[in-house]
Chains A and B, each alone.
Chain A
């Protein structure tokens, strides 16, 4: 196959991670009354997108950036889709965890969500909504147009609103209302930034913005940059805009919380990464981002230490570890960005796994409150292993990927030893230790200590019924175990993966290549 043909084929794949889930969502909605058919449609769609994502990553890594001008409308008026290494890697990780969550939800059975919400859950909408969510996430990753990015955000937000309030019980409505308003407010800030950017530069095409924003007065550009950062930081749950997250996530069904924890905040981190490197390469605002990163890490993890509910504890560690990704962005060096990208891939996988395990704990033990749980290690040794591996990974125990990502960040930080960076190095290590403390607290209380609930001995029939009701079906264990294995694979394949993230970081630091690609190497209008 000639190079040109290969390039044409790869380019044809670029819009598919957005289109296929949308088409799949439509079909899944039409066949909503037939469970088997709906499952087949969703699984087929996810498998196809997974294969496409792998191909795109291979293509972007070997052939360079891929460009599509949507509908043949030329930039800057038309929308451009650009796939580079960062985009392809993000799409691949996103599809992987969403696929695992979909399989988990299928394994859980339709009855599970009905039971959780008192029989009111409109479950047939779960699959279509999850597919729309994936489509929105892919849109934000692939888009080369800032307004299109906003539309992608709104797609994934609308899907997330529906998923978070699934069944509309009193808890979920309460959590949903505050989540919806925080999201709408952050989108409004983003939209305001878009209007001002258009007024100042006359374009929303990211390649053209990369050129025109540099020509603006520095003060004007700074206002636009801070507005964009504020909007994205709310979505990424960066302190002090992180308070909404631990309140919103724990009430949703386990698969929903898992996919949110993995993807939604990382979409914000991706947007920060992209705008900081492509639109504002000249002003990385290191001090502001370093302070935000340090406070996010420390406040998040101190919140986690105080929690009693496993899901809330994990939500706080999620906030805390956003700080690590921001650290690498703030350093704005090749090593920092590379470690940050690796950390995003690691964290999406691990956090989703841990929330799925929390769902398993809830199924097996009937609760996620640590004061009610106990003795799970003897009750379910397999589940204990499934928790321990990603938990140690999150805590940064060698040789897991969490350790590798943190070492990468520490090395990148040590290259620029200003006092603030040194404070961050200390903060990172401290956060890592406190994360280990928080997850080992879960381990010792939920798994290690003797059971809190004494087995019902006087009535064996009832006991057997209890066991059967909460036994873990292979359908939920297998996807979780698969994600644990993906987490281990991030360690095993760390060499090639870090090589890819190194090249992705180098690519991000050369925005002129991006601009040249979009405008065909010609003059930027």
Chain B
């Protein structure tokens, strides 16, 4: 079989543009990239179907001519249907992302960023060296659950389990009495993307901060 050069080049162009767009951080651009990629691959199926001009259905036209291979057509139809369904899902996801954060940018994983930051600062959690916060009575205080936090865990209106009291950031409370260490912990929390860009529909519960200070 001699493949059609023009179709091959076109498929290559579409796939190339698709890959370029797929690498973008914007969800919509990446989706367009996926669509281009899908179209490029469907063209590859057309190339694989053999030479052009053969009848698609037996019984129409010249009976002596061989029929077009129906299998690649069936396969690219299946692929088109699947791509359509996936596109619908991604559009819904992009819309939801825009609803929640007014952006369609793919965010970094906050936990990953936090671990990376700790590695940069060569910061070891103190519980690797001591018996844990419970071994030192001073450590119990900042983590002690104020009565206010218990129903808060229960009511479930707050979807972000990471939004813990600032004092509980690991490795940053060796000296709870020193204001500097607490500030550093608060600063670390403020660097996290989920704190920079809080969810507008669920405001931070106001009870936490006063309860925390009361415990200190």
Q: Mark A451-488, 1 if CB is under 8 A from B, else 0.
A: 11110101100100110010000000000000000000
Q: Which residues of A contact B207 (CB under 8 A)?
A: none
User: Which one of A164-172, A263-271, A490-498 is at the B interface?
Assistant: A164-172
Per-residue CB contact flags for chain B residues 12-33 toward chain A (1 = under 8 Å, else 0) read 0001000000100001001000
A77-B71, A118-B202, A171-B159 given; A308·B22 CB < 8 A? no
Given contacts A174-B106, A192-B44, A250-B111, contact A114 B71 (CB under 8 A): no
Which A-chain residue is minimally distant from B202 (CB atoms)? A118
> Which stretch of A92-100, A178-186, A276-284 is in the interface?
A178-186
Taken residue by residue from 68 to 82, chain B's Cβ proximity to chain A (1 for < 8 Å, 0 otherwise) reads as 010110010011001
Q: B22 touching A177 by the CB < 8 A rule?
A: no
The chain A residue sitting closest to B72, CB to CB, is A198
**Count the B residues whose beta carbon is within 8 Å of the partner chain — how many?**
72
- Given the interface pairs A450-B131, A451-B134, the reply to whether A173 lies near B202 with Cβ below 8 Å is no
- Establish whether residues A462 and B147, one from each chain, have CB atoms under 8 Å apart when the complex forms: yes
Interface string of B60-90 (1 = CB under 8 A from A): 0000000001011001001100100110011
Q: Is B57 an interface residue (CB 8 A)?
A: no
Measured CA separation A465–B152 after assembly (Å): 12
Q: Using Cβ atoms and an 8 Å threshold, which residues of chain B touch A165?
A: 93, 96
Partner of B71, one of A170, A198, A445, A456: A198
Chain B: CB-nearest residue to A312: B111
CB of A95, distance to nearest CB on chain B (Å) = 25
Whether the pair A375, B134 counts as a contact (CB closer than 8 A) is: yes
- Contact yes or no, B159 A247, CB < 8 A: no
Contact assessment for B45 and A449 in the assembled complex, using a CB-CB cutoff below 8 Å: no
Is A195 a contact partner of B41 (Cβ separation < 8 A)?
Answer: yes
The answer for the CA separation of A140 and B150 in the assembled complex, in Å, is 46
A188 at the interface (CB under 8 A from B): yes
Main secondary structure of the interface of A (DSSP, over half): helix
**Separation of A204 and B30 alpha carbons in the complex (Å):** 30
Chain A interface: which size bin?
Answer: 35 or more
Beta-carbon nearest neighbor of A177 in chain B:
B106
Q: Is the CB of A171 within 8 A of B93?
A: no
Determine if A132 is an interface residue (Cβ-Cβ < 8 Å).
Answer: no
* Distance between B29 CB and nearest chain A CB, rounded to angstroms: 11
Assess the B168–A372 pair: CB atoms within 8 A.
Answer: yes
Interface string of A147-160 (1 = CB under 8 A from B): 10001001000100
Contacts of B169 in A (CB 8 A): 371
Are A115 and B156 also in contact (CB < 8 A) when A178-B106, A449-B132 are? yes
| B1 smallest CB distance to A (angstroms) | 7
A161 part of interface (Cβ distance < 8 Å): yes
A112 to chain B, nearest CB (A): 9
Q: Tell me which residues across on chain B come within 8 A of A188, comparing CB atoms.
A: 34, 37-38, 41
- The CA of A202 and the CA of B169, in the complex, are separated in Å by 59
CB distance from A34 to the nearest CB of B (A): 24
Residues of chain B contacted by A449 (CB below 8 angstroms): 127, 131-132, 134-135
Q: How far is the CB of A446 from chain B (nearest CB, A)?
A: 10
A501 to chain B, nearest CB (A): 34
- Could you tell me the distance in whole angstroms from the C-beta of B7 to the nearest C-beta in chain A? 11
Query: A372 contacts which chain B residues (CB < 8 A)?
Result: 143, 164, 168
Interface mask (B107-141 → A, CB under 8 Å = 1, otherwise 0): 10101101100010000010110011111000110
Report chain A residues within 8 Å CB of B56. Answer: none
A452 to B89, CA, bound (A): 42
Q: Does A176 contact B (CB under 8 A)?
A: yes
**Which residues from chain B contact A169 at a C-beta distance below 8 Å?**
100, 159-160
Task: Check: A55 CB closer than 8 A to any chain B CB.
Answer: no
How far is it, in angstroms, between the C-alpha of A447 and the C-alpha of B162 when the chains are bound? 21
Name B's interface SS. Answer: helix
Cβ contact within 8 Å between A168 and B96 = yes
B106 partner residues in chain A, CB cutoff 8 A:
174, 177-178, 181
Q: Is A69 in contact with chain B by the CB < 8 A criterion?
A: no
Report A-chain residues with C-beta under 8 Å of the C-beta of B85: 158
Q: A199-B44, A308-B170 are known contacts. Are A456 and B100 too (CB-CB below 8 A)?
A: no
| Nearest A-chain residue to B89, judged by Cβ | A161
Q: Is B187 an interface residue (CB 8 A)?
A: no
> With A and B bound together, what is the CA distance between A165 and B95 in angstroms?
13
Q: Does B3 contact A (CB under 8 A)?
A: yes
Q: Is A367 an interface residue (CB 8 A)?
A: yes
Instruction: Output the least CB separation between B158 and chain A (Å).
Output: 7
Q: B41: shortest Cβ distance to chain A, in Å?
A: 5
- Check: A191 CB closer than 8 A to any chain B CB: yes
List the B side residues contacting A170 at CB < 8 Å.
Answer: 100-101, 159-160, 194, 199
Beta-carbon nearest neighbor of A458 in chain B: B147
Give the contacting residue for A454; candidates B86, B89, B97, B140; CB below 8 A: B140
A61 at the interface (CB under 8 A from B): no
Residue A191 contacts which of B1, B79, B159 (CB distance < 8 angstroms)?
Answer: B79
In whole Å, how far is B3's beta carbon from the nearest beta carbon of chain A?
A: 7
- How close is B137's CB to chain A, nearest CB, in angstroms? 10
Residues facing B in A239-259 (CB within 8 A) are: 246-247, 250
Name the one of A171, A185, A198 contacting B75, with C-beta atoms under 8 angstroms.
Answer: A198
- Taking a contact as CB atoms under 8 Å apart, the answer to whether A181 and B30 are in contact is yes
What residues of chain B lie closer than 8 Å to A196, measured between beta carbons?
44, 48
Q: Are A450 and B134 in contact (CB under 8 A)?
A: yes
Interface presence of B10 (CB below 8 A): no
B1 to chain A: closest residue by CB: A199
A334 part of interface (Cβ distance < 8 Å):
no
**Complex interface: chain A residues within 8 A of B170 (CB):** 308, 369-371
Q: Is B175 an interface residue (CB 8 A)?
A: no
Given the complex of chains A and B, what is the CA–CA distance between A119 and B85 in angstroms? 27
Interface mask (A364-400 → B, CB under 8 Å = 1, otherwise 0): 0011011110110000000000000000000000000
A38 CA to B111 CA in the complex, in Å? 36
Given A118-B202, A173-B96, A177-B93, also A151-B38 (CB < 8 A): no
Question: Is A173 in contact with B97, judged by CB distance below 8 angstroms?
Answer: yes
B168 touches A371 (CB 8 A): yes
Q: How far in angstroms is the closest Cβ of chain A from B126?
A: 9
Q: Which 10 A-B pairs have the closest CB atoms?
A: A450-B134, A449-B132, A371-B170, A115-B156, A199-B48, A195-B44, A169-B159, A247-B109, A198-B48, A118-B159
Give 9 CB contacts A-B under 8 Å: A117-B159, A151-B78, A162-B89, A173-B93, A177-B27, A188-B37, A199-B44, A372-B143, A452-B140
